[in-house]
């Protein structure tokens, strides 16, 4: 069933030209520098998503546990490079490999755009999981369902963190499974695949607002995590060289 992405209302249409591509469960919003936009991009992005899905589905047919596991799995020698990265990220974050599938698809499309237009900026959002490259400061809105902070703040990120993945998980809304009850956990890593795995992992660890203190200590110990924002109730934990801004 289609789920409306209300958070997509936060767009900078002067900086990016946006287009949507939907392939089965994959629903991407792509923003690219206006001078690089052309109608052929929709077809190219759609074909890349199809390729990534075929690769994942083909591997899963031979390795059934890959899809359903909520814990790390062993990588087979026949796993494509994209899935090897998902499996490695899952091991580090102690989650199942499919926890990072949305980040993997965003990362694949990012590679396509960067290969076509090396000097472009882009923002690729896939179910709240983003791959982006930006030359100047970028602001990303935070959206939750039950927190009193809902829809009121964003994260401002300097270009020194570009390119990166900005991935989010929630235990109170959305389509993804979570063991936790955080309203929102957003993680920034160089790799969208790694950011996606850690967003799921960190969200799993939050049962109540008071858990944010322990989460902060864990985040600081992980070199791959560049920044993080976690929201539980009316409490916020922020880590890294980012700014929280009003929208």
- pLDDT tens per residue, range 32-91: 999 999 999 999 999 999 999 999 999 988 888 888 898 998 866 678 888 999 999 999
Q: Is residue 174 part of a domain?
A: yes
Rounded CA-CA distance 32/215 in Å is: 34
Q: Is residue 43 part of a domain?
A: yes
Please state, rounded to an integer, the average pLDDT across all residues of the chain. Answer: 89
Rounded CA-CA distance 199/222 in Å is: 13
Q: Is residue 16 part of a domain?
A: yes
Q: What pLDDT score was predicted for residue 177?
A: 53
Rounded CA-CA distance 187/185 in Å is: 7
Q: Is residue 7 part of a domain?
A: no
Q: Quick one: which H or E segment has residue 229? A: strand 227-232
Q: What is the residue-wise DSSP string for 82-118?
A: HHHHHHHHHHHHTS-GGGGHHHHHHHHHHHHHHHH-T
Domain that holds residue 138: 12-246
Q: How confident is the model at residue 242 (pLDDT cuts 50, 70, 90)?
A: very high
Q: Is residue 232 part of a domain?
A: yes
Count of C-beta atoms within a 10 Å radius of residue 182: 30
Q: What pLDDT score was predicted for residue 243?
A: 96
Where would I find the H helices in 78-220? 81-93, 101-116, 192-204, 212-220
Q: Is residue 2 part of a domain?
A: no
234 or 149: which leads in pLDDT: 234
pLDDT tens string 194-213: 999 999 999 999 988 888 98
Q: Is residue 205 part of a domain?
A: yes
Q: What pLDDT score was predicted for residue 74?
A: 82
121 or 214: which leads in pLDDT: 121
Q: What pLDDT score was predicted for residue 124?
A: 98
Q: What angle do CA 127, 132, 134 make, to 5 degrees?
A: 145
Q: How confident is the model at residue 2 (pLDDT cuts 50, 70, 90)?
A: very low
Q: What pLDDT score was predicted for residue 1?
A: 40
Give me the sign of the Cα torsion angle 78, 82, 84, 90: negative
**Per the structure, how many domains does the chain have?**
1
Q: Output the CA torsion 198→199→203→205 (10° steps).
A: 10
Q: Is residue 48 part of a domain?
A: yes
57 or 7: which leads in pLDDT: 57
Here the CATH number for the domain that contains residue 136 is 3.10.520.10
Residue 161 DSSP class: G
pLDDT tens string 126-182: 988 999 999 999 999 887 765 566 557 889 999 999 999 999 998 665 555 555 567
């Amino acid at each position: 069933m289609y789920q409306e992405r209300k958070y997509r209302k936060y767009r900078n249409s002067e900086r990016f030209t946006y287009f949507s591509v939907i392939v089965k469960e994959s629903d991407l919003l792509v923003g690219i520098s206006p001078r690089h936009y052309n109608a052929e991009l929709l077809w190219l992005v759609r074909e890349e998503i199809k390729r990534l899905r075929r690769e994942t589905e083909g591997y899963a047919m031979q390795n059934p546990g890959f899809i359903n596991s909520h814990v790390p799995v062993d990588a087979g020698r026949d796993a494509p490079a994209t899935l090897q990265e998902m499996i490695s990220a899952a091991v580090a974050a102690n989650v199942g490999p499919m926890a990072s599938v949305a980040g993997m698809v965003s990362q694949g499309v990012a590679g396509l755009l960067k290969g076509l237009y090396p000097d472009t900026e882009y923002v690729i959002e896939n179910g709240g999981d983003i791959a982006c490259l930006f030359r100047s400061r970028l602001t990303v809105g935070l959206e939750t369902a039950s927190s009193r902070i809902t829809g009121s703040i964003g994260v401002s990120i300097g270009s020194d963190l570009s390119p990166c993945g900005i991935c989010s998980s929630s235990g109170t809304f959305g389509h993804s499974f979570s063991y936790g009850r955080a309203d929102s956990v957003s993680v920034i890593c160089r790799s969208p695949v790694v950011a996606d795995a850690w967003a799921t992992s960190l969200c799993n660890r939050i049962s109540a607002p008071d858990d944010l203190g322990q989460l902060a200590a864990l985040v600081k110990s992980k070199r791959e995590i560049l920044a993080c924002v976690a929201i539980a109730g009316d409490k916020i934990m922020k880590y890294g060289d980012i700014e929280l801004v009003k929208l």
